[in-house]
Amino acid sequence: MTEALDHERCYRAVAGRDARFDGWFFTAVRTTGIYCRPSCPARTPLARNVTFFTTAAAAQAAGYRACRRCRPDAVPGSPQWDVRADVVARAMRLIADGEVERSGVPGLAARLGYSERQLHRLLVAELGVGPLALARAQRAHTARLLIETTDLPMADVAFAAGFASIRQFNDTVREVFATTPSGLRGAKHAAGNGAPGWLTLRLAAREPYAADEVLLFLGAHAVPGLEEWDGTTFSRVLDLPHGPAVVRLSPAPGSGVIARLQLAELRDLGAAVTRCRRMLDLDADPAAVDDVLGADSALAPLVSTAPGRRVPASPDADELAVRAVLGQQVSVAGARTLTARLVRSAGTPLAEPVGTLTHAFPRAAAIAEADLATVGLTGTRRRTVSALTAALTAGDIALDPGADREEAGRTLLAVPGIGPWTAALVRLRGLADPDVWLPGDLALRRSLDALGSSDADAATRWRPWRSYAVLHLWALAVPSLFTRPTAPLTHPSTSLTHPTTPLTPALSRSA
């Protein structure tokens, strides 16, 4: 058990089968050799027989296998990796995104600015295991998803999940799940799982989770060719390490989100799932957020009517940064037009269109080489986009999941044409920072005036969940973003404006 976990408090959660703690820690039972999620419905073990681990990887490394009943590998991720800004949290975000599979532990350490030895020591000190064990647990989970949701041959599953050999794949499945790969498929696989070429997964979420609201928010920003919204399902193209993919997201019966994925290469499954989870804010802890914001007299009425409200993000912070600049000083319709032109001219085309989806969002290097005049940008805007994409391409600005958010904000501000509002928006919706305030946002100011509050309140009373307060205040100012309208969705009034951009924050600069 790591020092960060209190045995008595963890055991109370296990005794109460409290699902709020699923993903926060794992319960290992010495007498059975099994580890479970806190809400496991099995008989509560005696306190003297349990050990608690921060990660499933640590439990696996200690010799425990995953419970077949509660499936502890299928819980939402720990929200602390999104909240924290230290190197351990940054490493966990990168490992979840597949950095170890792509560049190995040396690449992971280099990205974080540490030696391999330093990074290993930090992770072991806090989590009990190093980066290889954490990546191995990630591979095991990806393998289980493929085994249970596809008819792929086991050899294809093994290499798609990132294993170096069939033997390594077989050994890992036996050690982690106490069964063979064919045993997993026989136990859970259902024939006819979706259309040919598509993987169908259920993405778990901590309750309460307003899937309809999150998807509506994303759908209101949909850019033709890149994204699609039909009123129920939000679809978009993902730019993944080994090629573009398409995902269709819709509310799951009961809770969570159903994701249907069409991948260029199966080895991108883990990265695709991680980016969808980040985009949908599925790993947040709504109880912790609502406890803080709901205790504030100004926000309490908003929180009570929208429990568990989430912060929809972008699957790619580089994309969000470019789209934020494209949306400056234009209406949402104009921003969507400009973005669609950029996608068509510089984006990576799909092998075949999927519905109205045709391209992935262009990477920074492609935008830097594109003729932005044909997109319709003004001279000032072209210079800003060019400077931004040049900095992203050169590595002067880092916006990947392992980025230092404070440093990212500072480097963005050094780009001519990017001010505090845009830099904050990239942190909020690009880097999924839970504690961001948007300075000078007139929609927020309008809501604050209506509530009798001020910017000073946000700077003090609403930490460390100011991003969620922003969403509540946006919902008050622009309700059409959060509530399905009876008439077709239209852009709200833009008669009030940000000092340099349109007022409606979510529909304009975060487009």
pLDDT tens per residue, range 470-497: 999 999 999 988 886 543 333 333 222 3
Collapsing DSSP to helix, strand or coil, 307 comes out as coil
Is 36 marked active-site? yes
CATH 3.40.10.10 domain extents, the chain:
7-74
- How many angstroms separate the Cα of 30 from the Cα of each of 92, 320, 450, 475? 27, 47, 56, 48
Closest CA to 10 of 50, 43, 49: 50
State how far the alpha carbon of 248 is from the alpha carbons of 6, 117, 235, 276, in Å.
40, 41, 4, 10
pTM over 0.75: yes
Per-residue pLDDT tens for 360-412? 999 999 999 999 988 988 889 999 999 999 999 999 999 999 999 999 999 99
| Active-site hit among 10, 22, 36, 268 | 36
**C-alpha count within 13 angstroms, C-beta hemisphere, residue 365:** 4
Residue 258 has φ and ψ, to the nearest 5°, of -90, 125
Q: Where does CATH 1.10.10.60 sit in the chain? A: 80-188
Q: Which of these is catalytic: 283, 290, 433, 441?
A: 441
Q: SS3 string of 128-171?
A: CCCHHHHHHHHHHHHHHHHHHHCCCCHHHHHHHCCCCCHHHHHH
Is 441 among the catalytic positions? yes
Q: How far apart are CA 199 and CA 128, in angstroms?
A: 33
Q: Where are the beta strands (DSSP E) in 221-339?
A: 227-229, 234-240, 243-251, 257-262
**How far is it, in rounded angstroms, from Cα 242 to Cα 394?**
21
* Third-level CATH fold of 7-74: DNA Methylphosphotriester Repair Domain (3.40.10)
Tokens of 270: 């883990």
CA 37 to chain centre: 21
| pLDDT tens-digit series, residues 408-443 | 999 999 999 999 999 999 999 999 999 999 988 888
Nearest of 163, 160, 151, 158 to residue 188 by alpha carbon: 151
Reading the chain (511 residues) residue by residue, the pLDDT tens digits are 444 678 998 999 999 998 888 989 999 999 999 999 999 999 999 999 999 999 999 999 999 999 988 888 888 888 888 888 899 999 999 999 999 999 999 999 999 999 999 999 999 999 999 999 999 999 998 898 888 878 889 998 998 888 989 999 999 999 999 899 998 887 555 444 556 688 898 898 999 999 999 999 999 999 999 999 999 999 999 999 999 999 999 999 988 999 999 999 988 999 999 999 999 999 999 999 999 999 999 899 999 999 989 999 999 999 999 999 998 877 777 888 999 999 999 999 999 999 999 999 999 999 999 999 889 888 899 999 999 999 999 999 999 999 999 999 999 999 999 999 999 999 999 999 999 999 888 889 999 999 988 777 676 789 999 999 999 999 999 998 888 654 333 333 322 233 333 333 333 333 3
Can you tell me which residue has the tokens 């492609």? 366
**80-188: CATH number:** 1.10.10.60
Measure Cα distances from 464 to 54, 124, 261, 300, 434 in Å. 22, 27, 34, 16, 7
